Amino acid sequence: MKNAYFLLALAIAVLYTSCQSPENELDNRVESLLKQMTLEEKVGQMTQITLDVIGNGETVFSSGYPFELDTARLRKALVDYHVGSILNTTNNYAMTPEQWYTIISQIQEVATTQTRMKIPVIYGVDAIHGVTYTDGAIMFPQQLTVAASFNPVHAYNMGVVTAYETRASGIPWNFSPVLDLGADPRYSRIYESFGEDPYLIGAMGVQLVKGYEGMNADSLSSPVKVASCVKHFLGYSVPVSGKDRTPAYIPDHILREYHLEPFKKAIEAGASTLMVNSGLINGVTVHASHDIITKLLKEELGFEGLVVSDWNDIINLHTRDKIAVDNREAVKLAINAGVDMSMVPYHYEDFFNDLVALVKEGEVKESRIDDAVRRILKVKLRLGLFETPVTKYTDYPGFGSEKSARMAYEAAADAITLLKNQDSILPLTANLKVLVTGPNAHSMRTLNGGWSYSWQGEKTGQYTEEFNTFLEAIRLKTAHVTYIPGVSYINDGKYFEEQEDQFAEAVAAARRADRVLLFVGENSYTEKPGDLNDLTLSPLQTRLAQELIKTGKPVILVLNQGRPRTIAAIEPGVKAVINTYLPGNYGGDALADILYGVVNPSGKLPFNYPSYPNSIVNYYHKPSEEQNPAAGAYNYESDYNPQYEFGDGLSYTTFHYSNLKASASSFGAKDELEISVDVTNTGTRAGKESVLLFSSDLYASISPDVKRLRRFEKISLNPGETQTVRFRLRAGDLAFVNTSNQWVTEPGDFEFTAGDQKIKVTYKN
């Protein structure tokens, strides 16, 4: 009898093992590794260093490249301190895929043959619009530009191409996408976001994550996919001062309704890692917030992936925010708050020694360490790093391909936004004599912005010889070009430093031209160095515009900038305005195609473009912010007065909206509502139109937003063609978060708008 039981148990065990899901198998591998690891080996896995720590840079070595790994320092980090992760490039240079391969394979060689556990390193970079630090990689437009296309296919394409090329560079982990709410135009990183609307950010973010990671849980093991890293959790992008890494104050219900939603969607779509907000919200440094990292993220949202700190942000709890008396206390706070990996990135010995000591003394539980290491090992296993620690560039013939370049071009062409076109001054014809002027006319650096071949983007010119600046692309369209900068940036200075550069000559040349193409905006920047004191377009560029306008020649203002520098002083004097945002390496070609009518513009603003620095209001503001004055009274300049609104964007054709209909005049909690609208191309050119559906909750227990984007779809229409666009919604799609932090859809009337059409529908609980 005993024997029979034994056999039965054995059969069940065999059956159980053979039926195990890949997920179970993965867990088993993680547990078996974890069991064999010492505390020191575990803490090493939680340690991330920057490449410079293990190399010698800034001298040209026999390889011809200004960097060489230092074998002693490499061994010290990986063998003595068990370091499990490395990030970044070296000395702020872009390298070729071959150089990347050489470095990363040396690192993995040490990790997988000379360490006891033989666990491969996970290498990470910021490949935020293409592989920033890889020479020859396809550079897409920046995220904010992609958002302006209102076409999530471009976010997906950017993810697919970037994942492939990151792997072609031997790197499996990408610190992207940015899912922060781009609600403050003063902020230096708004161009890294998908704009100010949570629904748009979510829709774009999900597609970018899918492009990076693949469509399902096991696609990460594919050698053309990378682990994404959604960042910066949570509430990073809206500091009160507008300056990077300064305090933000965000009520919980706002945090949940606007800031959390995009992260939630990306996590549901499978994002495998996440980076913590480097700043403070509501007085609390996020890296020390157990409430945000553990309770909200890991417990409430059920995030099972790896949580990495931002650069230097654990020690910052001591040195910057003064909430820890020393490094040790900082480490204790952050690890106990739920951070799994510290982007140290320099003094890793301190992080390592302090964390080991904290565990030994019982101040950090070993179970917390195990939780962190499980998450890290899982990502490494999912990525297939144990089988293939480094992917090789020769296996990626599609790196820098024509097909990928075309995708980057399409994204730019679909995003560039025509904001004004008085007297149909655009498109231009090739016979017109044009003056090309302004500091942004002839610069690959300004087309790409920050995170391009270097952190601040200042080295872009060294890598982009083969691409066209605006000027070069225009020269391919017409022989009648005069170029005089008028103003130019001081490229080895701060990003905002500029100077007169043949100013008077530019104005004189305008008098001889038929059209003036004025390219203004900003030089490249990111993070702290990109902080700004005045959102107005610089005085010198404004003066150039004013002088050009005075000539009486039609001025076409082309904006090339990471954030909306205000132009109220010059806008009335120009005939046309086009925002190119940061359109990437193919942005020059895309703009020239739009200017000369090869492409019909179809981008729309993914944020409100303010008229004045003191009138910054999002499109989803409260009714009180409109101030709707009684006739004649209080009719002053500070009424709701954006220069251009979220969703604005013109075409060379015209679209007519009609027949906005709802499938029912009232609906309940369980019903699906269909809203449809007919859109007709009433002009003479084919064109694309992003159809945006907004809802307004007419009365609510907290003052409702005047409107909110609920759905969008981009369609193509031939002249005379009509399409019916259908959107499906449920009550939950119209909900808001109340002051008790609950999502609610309150019974009452909702107004839907699309184009100039409006319809009212009643929600009955």
> How is residue 47 written in tokens?
């340690």
CB 276 to ligand BGC: min, Å: 10
| 611 is a site residue for ligand BGC (CB under 6 A) | no
The residue among 126 and 498 lying less far from ligand BGC, judged by its C-beta, is 126
CB 311 to ligand BGC: min, Å: 4
Neighbours of 680 (CB within 10 A): 18
CB 133 to ligand BGC: min, Å: 10
Is the C-alpha dihedral spanning 341, 346, 350, 352 positive or negative? positive
DSSP state of 318: H
CB 245 to ligand BGC: min, Å: 8
The residue among 438 and 457 lying less far from ligand BGC, judged by its C-beta, is 457
Binding mask 238-277 for ligand BGC (x = CB under 6 A): ----------------------------------------
Among 45, 145, 278, 421, binds ligand BGC (CB under 6 A): 278
Edge-to-edge, what's the strand order for the sheet holding 229-233?
229-233, 273-276, 306-308
Neighbours of 744 (CB within 10 A): 16
Q: Which residues pair with 560 in a beta bridge?
A: 521
The residue among 278 and 541 lying less far from ligand BGC, judged by its C-beta, is 278
CB contact burial 639-648 (16+ within 10 A = b; e otherwise): ebebbbebbb
Footprint (CB under 6 A) of ligand BGC, residues 506-535: 527
| 126 is a site residue for ligand BGC (CB under 6 A) | yes
CB 184 to ligand BGC: min, Å: 16
Q: Which residues pair with 679 in a beta bridge?
A: 657, 723
| 763 is a site residue for ligand BGC (CB under 6 A) | no
Encoded amino acid at 266, one letter: A
Which H or E run includes 52?
Answer: none
Footprint (CB under 6 A) of ligand BGC, residues 73-92: 88
Residues that bind ligand BGC (rule: CB under 6 A) add up to a total of 8
Among 81, 150, 175, 399, binds ligand BGC (CB under 6 A): 175
Which H or E run includes 420?
Answer: strand 417-421
Cα 64 to Cα 39, 59, 90, 489, 508: the distances in Å are 41, 9, 15, 31, 47
Which H or E run includes 5?
Answer: helix 2-18
3-state secondary structure of 307: strand
The residue among 230 and 390 lying less far from ligand BGC, judged by its C-beta, is 230
CB 623 to ligand BGC: min, Å: 36
| Residues 85, 124 contacting (CB under 8 angstroms) | yes
Q: Which residue has tokens 């992008």?
A: 237
Question: How far is 322 from 331, CA to CA, in rounded Å?
Answer: 13
The β-bridge relationship of strands 481-483 and 85-87 is: unpaired
Neighbours of 669 (CB within 10 A): 12
Footprint (CB under 6 A) of ligand BGC, residues 215-244: 231
Angle at 156 between CA 155 and CA 162, to 5 degrees: 90
Question: How far is 443 from 487, CA to CA, in rounded Å?
Answer: 12
The residue among 133 and 150 lying less far from ligand BGC, judged by its C-beta, is 133
| 52 is a site residue for ligand BGC (CB under 6 A) | no
CB 191 to ligand BGC: min, Å: 13
CB 229 to ligand BGC: min, Å: 7
CB 312 to ligand BGC: min, Å: 8
Which H or E run includes 510?
Answer: helix 503-512
The residue among 97 and 450 lying less far from ligand BGC, judged by its C-beta, is 450
3-state secondary structure of 687: strand
Question: How far is 256 from 672, CA to CA, in rounded Å?
Answer: 24
Among 310, 472, 648, 697, binds ligand BGC (CB under 6 A): 310
> How is residue 140 written in tokens?
């897409």
| 311 is a site residue for ligand BGC (CB under 6 A) | yes
| Residues 531, 187 contacting (CB under 8 angstroms) | no
The β-bridge relationship of strands 757-763 and 748-754 is: antiparallel
The β-bridge relationship of strands 306-308 and 273-276 is: parallel
Q: Which residues pair with 67 in a beta bridge?
A: 57
DSSP state of 68: E
Which H or E run includes 472?
Answer: helix 470-475
The residue among 239 and 588 lying less far from ligand BGC, judged by its C-beta, is 239
The residue among 171 and 709 lying less far from ligand BGC, judged by its C-beta, is 171
CB 368 to ligand BGC: min, Å: 24
The residue among 51 and 592 lying less far from ligand BGC, judged by its C-beta, is 51
| Residues 253, 737 contacting (CB under 8 angstroms) | yes
| Residues 423, 198 contacting (CB under 8 angstroms) | no
Neighbours of 225 (CB within 10 A): 25
Q: Among residues 135, 310, 414, 697, which one is catalytic?
A: 310
Query: Is 52 assigned a catalytic role?
Result: no
The residue among 92 and 658 lying less far from ligand BGC, judged by its C-beta, is 92
Dihedral pair phi/psi, residue 307, rounded to 5°? -105, 115
CB 341 to ligand BGC: min, Å: 12
Question: How far is 545 from 548, CA to CA, in rounded Å?
Answer: 5
| Residues 570, 536 contacting (CB under 8 angstroms) | no
DSSP string over 461-490: GGG-TTS--HHHHHHTT-S-EEE--EEEE-
CB 717 to ligand BGC: min, Å: 39
The residue among 455 and 503 lying less far from ligand BGC, judged by its C-beta, is 455
The residue among 231 and 515 lying less far from ligand BGC, judged by its C-beta, is 231
Residues serving a catalytic function are 310
Binding site for ligand BGC (CB under 6 A): 88, 126, 175, 231, 278, 310-311, 527
